[in-house]
Structure 1
Amino acid sequence: MPDFAEVGGDRTQSKVRIGVEKSLLNRRDRARFLIVHPGLDNSFHRSRACRIAEEFLELGLGFDSCELARIPRGRFDLCLLFGLSEILTEGETEDARRGIESARQISDSVLSVTAKCVHGTGFQAHLHALRDLGIDGILDLGFAGQQEHIIRQAGLEYEFVFDGLTQRQLRESKRDDDQADRPIPWAHVGRQTPARVGLTARLVNHVSGQGFAYLPSPDIVSAPLGPLQMERILRRTQCYLWSGDDADPYLESERFWSSWQAGCLPIKIVRDDATLPDGFPFRSRIVKEEEVVERLCRLDFRAESAAFRSEYRGHPSLGDGLGRFLADRGWLDDPAERPRPLENRAYGKCA
């Protein structure tokens, strides 16, 4: 069976290989799950799929996985597809279409796992493309449930799961990172736009010229920073900054757990006229563009880092959200009756 690439940086040597023993997969007294990833070793979609796989093991659930081009035989209760938004944006290939059709034929339910803002550019077209491909719905991994009626009106199911910390992350000891170990005061990453270029100039001129900026032009094909490269940079960085393309203050959860993993501070930059809904998580990590320079100049890294990590631990874990979703669909027993966490005995423990 195909396996997930290593996830983590120099200090996080956690490998999750996909697949469990045949005897477990063939048991029909349990629901069967299929995790389908794009097949790119160094992609955020693969990392996100790996997080879900870890939590399936923690919940005591067996699963199979494959690349989209290598859908296995068998029968599954649920298939989770990762990376469809990019595949559809870039123009689906015939191989991808065949893979999606194969997944539909062997699965009772097929959900596209996404972390996109419903008000983002092209999202409506994405919904209609999913419907046309026969996808049953969306599993929305994020920090706040979105306007599900927009998705349901497109004829798709909608499920929200809070993208919290994994059990492995929660078990990790608290880091006490010293600023001296982080020579990069800020890292600004995103597609090049005039606003981002202007912000980077202000950071260089008014905060520190020792920062890191990666703003590739959308008109030029360039190698993206994968999760491993990003983690190596963030482990040397104090603040990880990014801004969205749209006015809606959507929180990209993968940037938050990437920051947690690397021990740095996330800062989501929003437009000056942005309005944050009541109950929005991590409000202290959301900064208006006009306030960014001042915020970084008076940064207390140790204090803010401790507050961020404490708040993150206080939110539901990823396993909590997945467990509720699976239990609501009848695929997982009540918490008191759930099996013990599995070791992936075919390939080593997921920890």
Structure 2
Amino acid sequence: MAVLLAVFGFWRHDRSTARVAAGPANPPVRGLHVRGSEIVQAGGEPLLMRGISHPYAWFPQHTAAFADIRRLGANTVRVVLTGDVPGREVAGIVARCKENRLVCVLEDHDTTGYGEREGAVTLDRAADYWAGLSPVLRGSEEYVVVNIGNEPYGNGDTSGWAEATGAAVAKVRAAGVRHLLMVDAPNWGQDWSGTMRDSAPAVFARDPLRNTVFSVHMYGVYGSAAKVTEYFDAFRRTGLPLVVGEFGWRHTDGPVAADAVMRESDARGIGYLGWSWSGNGGGVDYLDAAEGFDPDRLTDWGRRLFDGIRATAREATVFTRASR
């Protein structure tokens, strides 16, 4: 995440132009998977993620959030986890997502700002967490995405991002996790250095299933429509899938061109997940979509975000098929 949470009291503000070379035929992938620059579903239909993050790890009592987010029109929820959330709870989260017909992006928040934030863990540690959850996740490949580590590098030296991310992908695969994987950019997710953009093909090649999507977070670095389109256009040249894994309408590093994020994502078929449902503190409560976790008290940001979501969200086919 790119916000200050009162619960923890920490803050953050925070080219390659070549396509991936053809390699051996991909092993069979069940469920959500990559097809060129798209995320597609088991039957081959594209999936356009439209949703929001829910800070479950700090507010596990707010389980109604899943139904509320779905009722407001989202097709995806990104669920904040930490290594303290055990497998039995993760199984319950997955079941709740399925019950509410939501694609479930599970993310490990412990890596946030590694190298700058005290206590942040490595992507290797996060990969161990997912490896341990492999039996819990098995069978949910059609509606669960594994976001290996949130914003895994700060604004310092990001030269190790590609190797650390590729190694984490390989470790998670070796543990038997066959889900669509999501990897976050460095620079607190904003990739202003272009590290993820430049290294995405090499990281993608480390995944034996070739089933990884790349996530940029858009805050103050993307304060103009031109900055948003510049990044989208530059990443498109990799030929790989991109999502906006987080964004807000403003932040400690400046205003955000949120309308451009949504508009240009629509134009390019890019998924987006707003930050966040509720619970922000320490002066950045303006990033709450709902006041006090109440879906009937949406903020200006919440109304703006969910208006965009409802206009373009389509339910995942795994759920529409089940209702026939």
What TM-score, normalized by structure 2, do the two folds share? 0.37
**Structure of larger gyration radius:** 1
What TM-score, normalized by structure 1, do the two folds share? 0.34
